C-alpha cells in the first residue's frame, strides 16, 4: 500500500501572526471611537425617549386633574408623602412610567438626593416646616420631617423595598416652572423652594394665559450632582449635618448594594429666580434696578461633550408641548477665563466655595443669556398682578 506524506501547513509563521495582530490593533483603534460615539448617541436617544414617555404621563395627569401637569416636585419633605405626591408618584400611580427604572444612562450619578431624604440617609433639614411646605399631604400625626422618614415610615423592610422597586427615584431634574410655576413673592425673592412659594405646579392656565408658548416652557432635563458636601455618599449611617448621605442606610432601604461610598446624589429640581442681572443690555426686562431669571444650572449638558473637561455638550430638554430638544453648552460664562467653548452650564453659571456650595449665580454675558433663552423661556410665565388685578410687571 502506497502512503503519501501530508504536505499541509503546520500553522502560521511568526511574521504572519504579527501581521494579523497588527491589523487587529489598527481595526480596534479605528472602531473604538465609533463605538464610543454610537454609545453616547444611544444614551442621548434613550434619555429623550424616557422624557417623552414622562411627558405623555404629564398630559394624561393634566386631563384628569384640572389642567395641572403634576402634583408637585419629587421632594418628600416639601411636597408631601412620596407615595402619593410629586411627579414621580403621579407617573407610578397612573401606571404610565416608573422613573426609577427609566434613568438617564449617560449620567454617572443614579440616585436622587430626595431618596436620601426619604430613606433617612441624608442630612436635609432646611425649609421643611412653615409656609413653604405643603399641608395635608402626610398621614395623620406624621411630623413629615427629617427624623420621621426611613423604613419604619414606609412600613418596614419589605414595604420599603417595594416602594423602591416601584420606581421612586430619578436622575432627571425638573424646572422651576414645572414644579412651582411662578414665584409668588412680590420681589421674586430668591432661596424659596417650597410648594407654597410658587403659584404652581404648572397648569394649562399658565400656558394658555402666559407670555410665551408651550414650545418654550422647559419641564425637565438630566440632573446635575447636588451642591456641597450633602451630595456626597459616605460610609455608615446618617452622618453629621452636611457631611453626606450614608450608603449603608440607602442600601438597607432598597434591599441591594447599589450605592457605594464616593457616589454623588443628583438634584431634584431647579431653583427659582436666583439669577440676578443688573445690565439691561444683557437681559432687557425691567424690574427695579435689576432683573431675575430662573436658574437652570441643576440641569447638566452632559451628553457628547466636546472638551476634555466635560464641557461643550448638550442637555436634552422636555418641553410643555412634549417635544424634546437639545440645548447646547456653547458659551463660557466666566468672562475672566481663557476662551473656550462651553462651561458645563446652559445659561447661567455658578461660583462655588471650598465645600462645593453655590456662592453666586450669574449670567455675565449676553451670549450666556442667549445660550439658553433662545430656546427656553427663563422669565415669569405670567405677569404679576396687584390685589386689584392690575398688572404690575
Name the helix (H) or strand (E) containing 221. Answer: strand 218-222
Q: pLDDT class for 257, splitting at 50, 70, 90? A: very high
Q: Residue 349's beta-bridge partner residues?
A: 362
Domain extent listing, the chain: 17-373
Choose the most confident range, by mean pLDDT, from 45-49, 342-346, 377-381: 45-49
393 vs 56, higher pLDDT = 56
Q: Residue 34's beta-bridge partner residues?
A: none
pLDDT digits (tens, 9 = 90+) for 276-307: 676 665 655 444 456 778 889 899 999 999 88
pLDDT digits (tens, 9 = 90+) for 128-146: 555 566 778 887 766 666 6
| Statement: residue 52 has pLDDT above 90 | yes
Cis amide prior to 201 (ω within 30 degrees):
yes
pTM for the complete prediction?
A: 0.86
3-state DSSP call for residue 316? Answer: strand
pLDDT in the model for residue 138: 81
When mean pLDDT is compared across 59-63, 278-282, 323-327, the lowest value belongs to 278-282
pLDDT in the model for residue 292: 77
Helices (H) and strands (E) in the chain, counts: 10, 12
| Statement: residue 53 has pLDDT above 90 | yes
pLDDT digits (tens, 9 = 90+) for 338-369: 666 888 888 887 776 666 666 667 666 777 78
14 vs 263, higher pLDDT = 263
Q: Is 192 exposed, middle or buried (0-12, 13-18, 19+ CB in 10 A)?
A: buried
For the chain, what is the mean pLDDT? 83
| Statement: residue 322 has pLDDT above 60 | yes
Amino acid at each position: 500500500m502506497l502512503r503519501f506524506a501530508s504536505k499541509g501547513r503546520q500553522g502560521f509563521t511568526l511574521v504572519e501572526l504579527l501581521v494579523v495582530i497588527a491589523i487587529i490593533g489598527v481595526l480596534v483603534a479605528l472602531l473604538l471611537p465609533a463605538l464610543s460615539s454610537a454609545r453616547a448617541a444611544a444614551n442621548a436617544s434613550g434619555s429623550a425617549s424616557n422624557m417623552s414617555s414622562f411627558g405623555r404621563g404629564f398630559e394624561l395627569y393634566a386631563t384628569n386633574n384640572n389642567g395641572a401637569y403634576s402634583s408637585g416636585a419629587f421632594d418628600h419633605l416639601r411636597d408631601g408623602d412620596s407615595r402619593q405626591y410629586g411627579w414621580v408618584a403621579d407617573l407610578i400611580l397612573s401606571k404610565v412610567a416608573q422613573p426609577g427604572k427609566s434613568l438617564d444612562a449617560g449620567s454617572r450619578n443614579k440616585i436622587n438626593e430626595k431618596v436620601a431624604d426619604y430613606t433617612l440617609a441624608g442630612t436635609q433639614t432646611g425649609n421643611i416646616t412653615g409656609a413653604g411646605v405643603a399641608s395635608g399631604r402626610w398621614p395623620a400625626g406624621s411630623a413629615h420631617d427629617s427624623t420621621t422618614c426611613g423604613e419604619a415610615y414606609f412600613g418596614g423592610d419589605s414595604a420599603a423595598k417595594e416602594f423602591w422597586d416601584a420606581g421612586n427615584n430619578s436622575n432627571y431634574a425638573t424646572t422651576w416652572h414645572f414644579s412651582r410655576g411662578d414665584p409668588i413673592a412680590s420681589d421674586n425673592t430668591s432661596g424659596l423652594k417650597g410648594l407654597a412659594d410658587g403659584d404652581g405646579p404648572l397648569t394649562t392656565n399658565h400656558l394658555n394665559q402666559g407670555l410665551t408658548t408651550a414650545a418654550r416652557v422647559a419641564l425637565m432635563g438630566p440632573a446635575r450632582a447636588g451642591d456641597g458636601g450633602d451630595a456626597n455618599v459616605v460610609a455608615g449611617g446618617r452622618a453629621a449635618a452636611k457631611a453626606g448621605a450614608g450608603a449603608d442606610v440607602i442600601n438597607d432601604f432598597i434591599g441591594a448594594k447599589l450605592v457605594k461610598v464616593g457616589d454623588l446624589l443628583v438634584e431634584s429640581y431647579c431653583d427659582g429666580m436666583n439669577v440676578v442681572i443688573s445690565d439691561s443690555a444683557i437681559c432687557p426686562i425691567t424690574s427695579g434696578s435689576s432683573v431675575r431669571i430662573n436658574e437652570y444650572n441643576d440641569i447638566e449638558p452632559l451628553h457628547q461633550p466636546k472638551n476634555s473637561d466635560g464641557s461643550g455638550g448638550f442637555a436634552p430638554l422636555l418641553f410643555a408641548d412634549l417635544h424634546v430638544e437639545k440645548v447646547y453648552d456653547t458659551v463660557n460664562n466666566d468672562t475672566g477665563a481663557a476662551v473656550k467653548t462651553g462651561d458645563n452650564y446652559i445659561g447661567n453659571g455658578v461660583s462655588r466655595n471650598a465645600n462645593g456650595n453655590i456662592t453666586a449665580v450669574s449670567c455675565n454675558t449676553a451670549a450666556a443669556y442667549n445660550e439658553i433663552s433662545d430656546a427656553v423661556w427663563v422669565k415669569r410665565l405670567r405677569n404679576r398682578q396687584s390685589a386689584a388685578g392690575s398688572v404690575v410687571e
